[in-house]
């Protein structure tokens, strides 16, 4: 068994940092400013989405009568401002990231947030924490499409199957698994379903690089056993132990 993974690809919102409450606050404020009504169900439906997809959802369900690109920029303004005041780290995330950096394991940040928000988060970390960044404004097709994770693996020069992805949303899990990357799902705001190519936990606290190195051994047989239902999309969900 390897003592460390070849590379680790991190989701950001809800995985590395607990920014989802910031996004939700900004969604409520934007919808209310336009006379609409927003709910937690609507807010949770946006977790992990490409930002333009979320903006179109806000237009349909929140009555926000603005171009989707303007909605994205307004939401980003609010979240970036909050992050600059206080970065809400997820439990165990910085400790695991620091261990990976100390072991010279290359890490990439793979987020559907745009670069200006990702840079605000990265500014609060040591400068060598991430070797690559793939943001929502870097890709043509966002999560759940595999493009973001395939792009990150290519930028690190590592085969997708040799990486490990860390995610907190069904959309993000679908993206990483569709890219052929063994994936650790960390349950947070929205439920995660067990399925091939993924291993579910409730926290990153106490997890080590050696734990991540075992992940391909844990999930690869399951991923091979059940093929994806739609090429390039989420895999079929089957019952399995979440470990």
- Which tokens belong to 62? 């929140």
The three-state DSSP-derived secondary structure of 141-206 is CCCCCCHHHHHHHHHHCCCHHHEEEEECCHHHHHHHHHCCCCEEEECCCCCCCCCCCEEEECCCCC
Instruction: Give the Cα separation of 133 and 151 in Å (integer).
Output: 9
| pLDDT at 20 (0 to 100) | 86
Instruction: Give the Cα separation of 47 and 54 in Å (integer).
Output: 9
For 79-99, how does the pLDDT look when each residue is reduced to its tens digit (9 = 90+)?
Answer: 999 999 999 999 999 999 999
Is it the case that residue 4 has pLDDT exceeding 60? yes
- pTM > 0.85: no
For 46-67, how does the pLDDT look when each residue is reduced to its tens digit (9 = 90+)?
Answer: 887 888 999 999 999 999 999 9
Is it the case that residue 25 has pLDDT exceeding 60? yes
Which are the contacts of 185, defined by CB distance < 8 A and separation ≥ 6?
A: 167, 168, 173, 192, 198, 199, 200, 201
């Amino acid at each position: 068994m390897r003592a460390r993974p070849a590379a680790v690809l991190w989701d950001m919102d809800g995985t590395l940092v607990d920014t989802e409450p910031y996004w939700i606050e900004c969604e409520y404020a934007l919808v209310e400013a336009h006379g609409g009504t927003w709910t937690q169900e609507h807010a949770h439906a946006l977790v992990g989405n490409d930002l333009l997809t979320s903006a179109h959802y806000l237009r349909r369900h929140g009555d926000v009568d603005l171009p989707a690109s303007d909605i994205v920029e307004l939401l980003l303004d609010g979240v970036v401002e909050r992050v600059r005041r206080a970065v809400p780290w997820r439990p165990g995330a910085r400790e695991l990231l620091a261990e990976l950096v100390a072991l010279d394991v290359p890490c990439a940040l793979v987020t559907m947030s745009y670069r200006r928000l990702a840079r605000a988060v990265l500014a609060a970390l040591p400068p060598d924490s991430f070797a690559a960044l793939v943001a929502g404004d870097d890709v043509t097709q966002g999560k759940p499409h595999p493009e973001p994770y395939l792009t990150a693996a290519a930028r690190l020069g590592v085969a997708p199957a040799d990486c490990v992805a860390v995610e907190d949303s069904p959309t993000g899990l679908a993206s990483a698994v569709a890219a052929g990357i063994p994936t650790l799902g960390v349950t947070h705001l929205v439920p995660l379903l067990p399925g091939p190519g993924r291993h579910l936990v409730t926290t990153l606290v106490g997890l080590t690089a050696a734990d991540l190195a075992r992940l391909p051994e844990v999930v690869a047989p399951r991923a091979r056993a059940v093929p994806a239902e739609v090429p390039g999309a989420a895999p079929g969900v089957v019952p399995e132990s979440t470990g």
